[in-house]
Amino acid sequence: MFKVTFNLLPSSLVAYFQINSAVHSYNTRHLQDYRISSIRTAKHLKTLRHSGPRIWNSLPSEIKTINNFHSFTKSVKSSLLDVYV
C-alpha cells in the first residue's frame, strides 16, 4: 500500500485501489483513507484488495506520511512491537 500511495507501481495496480475522496466529495474523517471493498465470502478477507486498505487505514497518520520506504518499514515494525511489548 505504501507503493500504491506514492505511485511506485504500474498504473494498472494503482488503479486497483480507490481513495474515499474519489468516490464522494463530502468532507468526512476518513476522506483520505482507501476504500475497503465489500466482501461476500470469508475467502475474500485475505485478498490484497481487502486486507491492504484495511491495514493501511489502521496505521497512524504520522507513519502514513513517511515517504522513504526504508524509514516507513522501520516505523511500522517499531509501532507493532510497541503494541505487543
pLDDT in tens, 20-69: 888 888 888 888 889 888 888 988 888 888 999 999 999 999 999 999 99
pLDDT at site 39:
84
CA–CA separation, 55 and 67 (whole Å): 18
Whole-angstrom distance, CA of residue 82 vs CA of residue 19: 28
Residue 85, pLDDT above cutoff 90 = no
Angstrom distance (rounded) from CA 38 to CA 53: 12
pTM for the model: 0.82
Cβ–Cβ < 8 Å for 30, 57: yes
